[in-house]
């Protein structure tokens, strides 16, 4: 199974064009880099147009074909990110070229570090180094070296995007709790000022503590007003 990280990588670097075009190597291409050599039932040509849904379908079919084509050539145990990086590479350079690559040879020899670095070698089209291919190879290498489960951890860390459950009382609001703490702290500081200071310093400290306490009360009042308006 091809994971989402692989599909996203391919989509990012292939881009999606619904009208046929010639790639830097001069090959007619359409959708997410789909060519006739993908054998998904289409032969892109000048003037050809497809829909977005077609592009997604051809991408899925092509990725699955490339995955099936290169799988028998891999003789070592491989995880989903390593396999995804190889599928993306093969999707771009062709399964035949991939099977002859030093990336595959090093991997099958058990040297994953050399295999990862060998991915970077495929950065030319028409004999010229292309910045887009340099970036793509770097992304494929990064995916290859990414431990499986890293994406799941990112999802856990992004759990803050899930809306909080509705609160039952105003005091469950973090704003109200912070305001209450601020007000109590200000009162405590004022008491300390009375006992520890004298004269002008005492007055200045009391005025400052009073301002802090009033600000906290105002914040809590505003939160109560929003609560009454339905913002919970």
Residue 41 CA to residue 32 CA, distance in Å, equals 15
Q: Which of 12, 14, 46, 56 is catalytic?
A: 14
Please state whether the predicted TM-score (pTM) of the whole model is above 0.85: no
Q: Is the dihedral of CA 163, 168, 172, 175 positive or negative?
A: positive
Tokens of 59: 């991408």
Active site annotation includes 172: no
Tokens of 141: 């290498």
The residues, ordered by sequence, that sit 6+ positions from 226 with a Cβ below 8 Å of its Cβ are none
> Average pLDDT by consecutive 10-residue portion of the chain (232 residues)?
93 96 91 92 96 96 96 97 97 94 98 98 91 96 91 38 44 47 49 56 61 60 57 50
CA-based max dimension of the chain: 91
CA 104 to chain centre: 27
Contact criterion met (CB below 8 Å) for 46 and 20: yes
Q: What CATH architecture does domain 4-147 belong to?
A: Orthogonal Bundle (1.10)
């Amino acid at each position: 199974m091809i994971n989402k990280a692989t599909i996203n990588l391919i989509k990012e670097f292939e881009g999606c064009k619904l009208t046929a075009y010639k790639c830097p190597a001069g090959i007619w291409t359409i959708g997410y880099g789909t060519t006739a050599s993908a054998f998904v039932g289409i032969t892109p040509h000048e003037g050809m147009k497809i829909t977005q849904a077609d592009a997604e379908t051809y991408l899925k079919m092509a990725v699955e074909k490339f995955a099936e084509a290169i799988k028998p050539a891999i003789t070592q145990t491989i995880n989903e990110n390593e396999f995804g990086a190889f599928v993306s590479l093969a999707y771009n350079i062709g399964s035949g070229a991939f099977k002859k690559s030093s990336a595959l040879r090093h991997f099958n020899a058990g040297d994953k570090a050399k295999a990862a670095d060998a991915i970077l070698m495929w950065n030319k089209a028409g004999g010229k180094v292309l910045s887009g291919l340099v970036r793509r190879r770097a992304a494929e290498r990064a995916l290859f070296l990414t431990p499986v489960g890293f994406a799941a951890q990112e999802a856990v860390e992004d759990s803050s995007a899930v809306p909080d459950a509705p609160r039952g009382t105003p005091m469950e609001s973090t704003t109200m709790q912070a305001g209450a703490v601020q007000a109590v702290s200000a009162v405590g500081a004022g008491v300390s000022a009375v006992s520890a200071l004298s004269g002008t310093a005492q007055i200045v400290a009391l005025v400052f503590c009073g301002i802090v306490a009033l600000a906290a009360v105002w914040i809590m009042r505003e939160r109560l007003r929003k609560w009454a308006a339905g913002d919970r």
